[in-house]
Amino acid sequence: MSMAGNLRKVGSLGKVSSLRKVGRLRKVARLGRRRSRVDLSHPARSPLGSSVVNCVSYRKGVRQPSVDSLVEAVERVRKADDGFVWLGLHEPTGQEFAGIADLFDLHPLAVEDAVHAHQRPKVERYDHTLFAVFKTVCYVEHTELTATSEVVDTGEIMVFVGRDFVITVRHGRHGSLGPLREELEASPEQLSQGPAAVLHAIADQVVDDYLAATDAVQSDIDQVETDVFAPDGARADPGRIYQLKRELLELKRAVVPLGRPLQVLATTPMRAIAPEIQAYFRDVDDHLHRATEQIAAFDELLNSILQAHLAQVTVAQNEDMRKITAWAAVVAVPTMACGLYGMNFDHMPELHWKFGYPLVMSVIAATCLALYRGFRRNGWL
């Protein structure tokens, strides 16, 4: 038979706290009936690059010794009819994922979604497999918020859950599941509940990251609000407000659509999720509601800040127009007098009197001073 493709794995060696060494997945050979073998033991770089992050098997919540191939790990778990395999991948291609999809009998539509990413959060059931999509969010640190600052970065985590396996496919620069795996391994009683416990832990971490991102965004909003309501708030850059609204919209697109899938996981009976695990999904759903409410409140607050800034700009413009109008009125008095006396008439009041010029200039000065004091008293100048 022809070669089915090459698969790889990063083998987990040593203690949980030690660095995981990179393993190699050798060729998948089809022998007889559609049976593939994935070699995980070779230390060299696999032809698959770094798409396979880790592959670990668990029994009664305890991590089992690593084996040479993914197939061996799956066969060992299924032969004992106890435990499960957790395979983690990062941005695999269709060719890289083909052998894995074949081994675990994954639905083609779910495989296509996992490979191409850019999916909305959702939960779908395909026969014996549950497929979930989560949008991950990461707050981007910056020293100063500008009109072009990136505030949040989003990615995706796809999770395949079966009776004896969990496959996680991560897209994006953040959302690593390594620390989560270590936390779960430190709590065997949770891992002993099977793949559904891993799904819950991933959902819980994703939603916790939402809350962390919204708390961080709040500091940016507070800073913009302080700048807008400062004495010179009319000079604040409105581009920062629009940028915050754009980034908040990206955060909203990641967080809000997850509400319906979490309700399904928390309330709909499923073979892949035990009823006692569904209670934990209800807790995650509560945290998601908090994040959703915060985002809605931030959106309203930014609208108010933007309207306040526009109002301040309008008031400042009105102040400038009043000053211009007041000075124009003051300058109109000498302009009018000079215009009258510049008509070259022979018979003008006090035209030939030696005190006529000082008198006219005094009247002009007194009138301008009276206008100036009047405008000043009314706050126009």
The pLDDT tens digits for 221-276 are: 988 888 888 777 666 778 888 888 999 999 999 999 999 999 999 888 888 888 88
Q: How far is CA 352 from CA 149, 190, 334, 342, in A?
A: 73, 110, 20, 14
Residue 3's pLDDT is what?
31
Q: Does residue 101 have a pLDDT over 50?
A: yes
Tokens of 75: 């066969």
Amino acid, single-letter form, for residue 329:
A
Q: Does residue 32 have a pLDDT over 70?
A: no
Amino acid, single-letter form, for residue 324:
I
At 294, the pLDDT band (50, 70, 90 cuts) reads very high
Region for 261 from its dihedrals, namely left if φ exceeds 0, alpha if ψ lies in -120 to 50, beta otherwise = alpha
The residue assigned the tokens 């061996």 is 72
- CATH homologous superfamily of 315-377: Magnesium transport protein CorA, transmembrane region (1.20.58.340)
Q: Does residue 37 have a pLDDT over 70?
A: no
Least confident of 151-155, 308-312, 367-371, 376-380: 376-380
Residue 84's pLDDT is what?
92
Residue 333's pLDDT is what?
74
> Which residues, including other chains, have CB under 8 Å from residue 108's CB and lie 6 or more apart?
101
With a pLDDT cut of 90, the percent of the chain lying above it is 31
At 42, the pLDDT band (50, 70, 90 cuts) reads very low
For residues 299 and 220, the answer to whether their CB atoms sit within 8 Å is no
Least confident of 233-237, 280-284, 373-377: 233-237
At 357, the pLDDT band (50, 70, 90 cuts) reads low
The pLDDT tens digits for 124-158 are: 999 889 999 999 999 999 888 888 888 999 999 99
340 vs 88: which has the higher pLDDT? 88
Residue 10's pLDDT is what?
31
For residues 157-162, give the mean pLDDT.
94
CA–CA distance, 14 with 21 (Å, rounded to integer): 9
CA–CA distance, 213 with 243 (Å, rounded to integer): 16
CA–CA distance, 83 with 104 (Å, rounded to integer): 15
Q: Does residue 23 have a pLDDT over 50?
A: no
The pLDDT tens digits for 55-90 are: 888 988 898 888 778 888 888 888 888 889 999 999
Output the average pLDDT for the chain.
Answer: 78
Residue 139's pLDDT is what?
92
Q: Smallest Cα–Cα separation from 97: which of 204, 20, 7, 191?
A: 7
At 309, the pLDDT band (50, 70, 90 cuts) reads confident
For residues 307-327, give the mean pLDDT.
78
For residues 274-300, give the mean pLDDT.
91
- The angle formed by the CA atoms of residues 266, 272 and 274, to the nearest 5 degrees, is 55
Amino acid, single-letter form, for residue 332:
A
Q: Does residue 166 have a pLDDT over 90?
A: yes
Q: Does residue 9 have a pLDDT over 60?
A: no
Q: How far is CA 57 from CA 63, 64, 76, in A?
A: 6, 6, 9
At 25, the pLDDT band (50, 70, 90 cuts) reads very low
Residue 344's pLDDT is what?
61
Residue 18's pLDDT is what?
30
Residue 271's pLDDT is what?
83
For residues 350 and 359, the answer to whether their CB atoms sit within 8 Å is yes
> Which residues, including other chains, have CB under 8 Å from residue 312's CB and lie 6 or more apart?
228, 233, 234
Residue 341's pLDDT is what?
63
CA–CA distance, 55 with 38 (Å, rounded to integer): 11
Q: How far is CA 35 from CA 99, 104, 274, in A?
A: 10, 11, 30
Residue 340's pLDDT is what?
60
What is the dihedral angle through the alpha carbons of 221, 224, 229, 234, rounded to the nearest 10 degrees? Answer: -140
Residue 258's pLDDT is what?
94
CA–CA distance, 129 with 100 (Å, rounded to integer): 14
For residues 108-122, give the mean pLDDT.
90
For residues 306-330, give the mean pLDDT.
78
CA–CA distance, 147 with 190 (Å, rounded to integer): 45
